Amino acid sequence: MLDYLLAFLILLGAGFTFIGSLGLARLPDFYTRLHGPTKATTLGVGAMLVASAIHFSVGEGGPSLHELLVTLFLFITAPVSAHLLSKAGLHLRLRSRAPAPGKASGEQRD
């Protein structure tokens, strides 16, 4: 039973990661593509971490806290890197498919 649960979680994680990668490759512009890897790190890696935590907690007879720490790291770093990437994209005035939100950034469109 446990094995099925673990397998499901891992497959779920792998699926999200795959979708994230696919998005990175296929989405049309920089800003939308940014979504791919960020979703993959949170949901994909998250599912795998849950699987790992369950596996080691059951297997080694005590709660495994490493995964908690890894999650914490991911939750802190993933938004920072996404934010920095989008900031860089804005600074470099990369093309966006989204309509300009207002006059202030209207001149940023190509």
| Under rule CB under 8 A, residue 91 binds other proteins | yes
Between the CA atoms of 47, 50, 54 and 57, what dihedral angle is there, to the nearest 10 degrees?
150
Q: Where are the beta strands (DSSP E) in 1-110?
A: none
| Under rule CB under 8 A, residue 109 binds other proteins | no
**Residue (11 or 77) nearer to other proteins, CB:** 77
| Under rule CB under 8 A, residue 77 binds other proteins | yes
Question: Would you tell me how many other CB atoms lie within 10 Å of the CB of residue 6?
Answer: 17
| Under rule CB under 8 A, residue 80 binds other proteins | yes
Positions that interact with other proteins (CB under 8 A): 69, 72-73, 76-77, 79-80, 83-84, 87-88, 91-92
